[in-house]
Amino acid sequence: MKTFPVLTTERLILRQLSDSDVKEIFLLRSDALLNKYLDRQPSKTLEDALEFIRKIKNDSLSYWAIEQKGNDKLIGIICLCDISEEKARCEIGYELLTEYQGKGIMREAAKRIIDYSVQARGVKTIEAYTHKDNQASIHLLTELKFMNTDNVDEKNSNLLLFRLNISKLDQAFSLFDNYNRNSPETLVNDGVTYPVEYFYALKLHEWVVKLDPKASEALLLASRCQHIGRWEIQRSSYPDGRIGYLKWRSDLSKFHAETASSLLRSIGYDESIIASMQEIVLKRRLRTEPDVQTMENALCLVFLQFQFDDLISKQPDDKMVGILQKTWAKMSGPGKDWALKLTYSTKGAELITRALS
């Protein structure tokens, strides 16, 4: 018997349906507002809901209950159906209890399911039908980069067909993100817990796009894998002192480049793009290659935005001033301009003023 694929996100657990979900499934399937947009018969009794759960449990490994971490109550469902391995396509469906809508929950769940469909099922095209009047669902699909095909369901002309064609770049991001979700350490940002390296990869990518809205494919790839699997080579496994530190950093950079390259080759990426990505990850020709300098700017900005204040509490002021001066020296004009626009703590702002004076 195949094991059901339990998936997690920063806030959610996506698990198999259980008989204990019967009340929540009944609420979902009898909700007049939800059913207004769905082409189905509503559940009229708890027995109807239980029958539905048992049918799904027996027939599907691609139908997930959505629950929030720390609360085992079902708040919605998400599923993959009509999966065709031959055509590498499937359809996605979803429902969320009304009191949980508007909080980004379904977007978070859908992104994880899309990643899973790419990695585990080899899907390259995902389709979704949604009611023409369901603006929330249309907005969600648009955010997830689904395109309105201008086609409708043959049996119900109110249902619009949206389609997501997953590019190799998207496949690569999915592979990189899935790898970095294994980071053993976590951090909390805006009340949400993330695996450390996954969080920093997302933020690095955001800064690269902000610094260069027309970033090359190689730079976009590097932005998501610059420190991939960083936890796998520990500083403690190298001798103390600067020589040991430099050796660790060198080996780590090579590991990042090699790990990312292996993942890219697994989906048939062009070797010339892989080579360009490696150059950026290894920071070769830093002062002469614009993409490498953009990456350096982004790395410094991630440090200043998310790690700087934490480091202040661990280092004496004079050392922090030196660290800031070195950070500033690494950046080119665009990086420095953005760094001056960031919001710092009172202590952080004082140290930056000292470092730049």
Query: What are 167-197's pLDDT values in tens digits?
Result: 999 999 999 999 999 999 999 998 889 999 9
Residue 314 Cα distances to 18, 309, 311, 319, angstroms: 47, 9, 5, 10
Crossing angle, helix 168-180 and helix 196-211, to 10 degrees?
Answer: 140
Task: Count Cβ neighbours within 10 Å for each residue of 94-109 and write b for 16 or more, e otherwise.
Answer: bbbbeeebeeebbebb
34 and 78 share a domain? Answer: yes
How much of the chain, in percent, has pLDDT values that exceed 70? 99
The angle at the Cα of 208, spanning 356 to 346, to the nearest 5 degrees, equals: 35
Q: Which of 39-43, 54-58, 264-268 has the lowest mean pLDDT?
A: 39-43
Does some domain include residue 1?
no
233 and 122 share a domain? Answer: no
Query: What are 146-162's pLDDT values in tens digits?
Result: 999 988 787 888 899 99
pLDDT over 90 at 58, yes or no? no
**Residue 83: what pLDDT?**
85
143 and 175 share a domain? Answer: no
The pLDDT of 272-289, averaged and rounded, is: 92
Last residue of one domain, picked from the residues 166, 196, 223: 166
pLDDT over 70 at 297, yes or no? yes
User: Are the beta carbons of 168 and 273 closer than 8 angstroms?
Assistant: no
Does some domain include residue 248?
yes
Q: Residue 216, exposed/middle/buried by CB under 10 A (0-12, 13-18, 19+)?
A: middle
- The residues near 75 (Cβ < 8 Å, ≥ 6 apart) are 24, 66, 67, 68, 96, 97, 100, 105
pLDDT over 70 at 250, yes or no? yes
**Residue 1: what pLDDT?**
57
**Residue 105: what pLDDT?**
96
How confident is the prediction for the chain on average, in pLDDT? 92
At residue 335 the predicted structure's pLDDT band, cuts being 50, 70 and 90, is very high
151 and 234 share a domain? Answer: no
For residue 162, the enclosing domain spans 7-166
- The residues near 53 (Cβ < 8 Å, ≥ 6 apart) are 17, 18, 19, 21, 22, 25
Please give the residue that has the higher pLDDT: either 86 or 275.
Answer: 275
Does some domain include residue 2?
no
126 and 212 share a domain? Answer: no
46 and 109 share a domain? Answer: yes
154 and 85 share a domain? Answer: yes
User: Which CATH number is 41's domain given?
Assistant: 3.40.630.30
190 and 328 share a domain? Answer: yes
At residue 79 the predicted structure's pLDDT band, cuts being 50, 70 and 90, is very high
The pLDDT of 19-27, averaged and rounded, is: 93
Helices (H) and strands (E) in the chain, counts: 15, 10
Query: What are 308-320's pLDDT values in tens digits?
Result: 999 998 999 999 9
The pLDDT of 120-138, averaged and rounded, is: 92
How far, in whole angstroms, is CA 60 from its chain's centroid?
Answer: 25
pLDDT over 90 at 135, yes or no? yes
pLDDT over 90 at 122, yes or no? no
Last residue of one domain, picked from the residues 166, 181, 201: 166
The pLDDT of 252-264, averaged and rounded, is: 96
14 and 152 share a domain? Answer: yes
343 and 287 share a domain? Answer: yes
- Segment of 33-37, 40-44, 216-220, 266-270 carrying the highest mean pLDDT: 216-220
159 and 187 share a domain? Answer: no
User: Which CATH number is 285's domain given?
Assistant: 1.10.3210
Last residue of one domain, picked from the residues 115, 142, 166: 166
The pLDDT of 42-52, averaged and rounded, is: 86
Number of domains in the chain: 2
The 3-state secondary structure of 26-46 reads HHHHHCHHHHCCCCCCCCCCH
Model confidence, pTM: 0.83
User: Are the beta carbons of 159 and 132 closer than 8 angstroms?
Assistant: yes
Closest to 295 in 3D by CA, of 177, 215, 198: 215
**Residue 163: what pLDDT?**
96
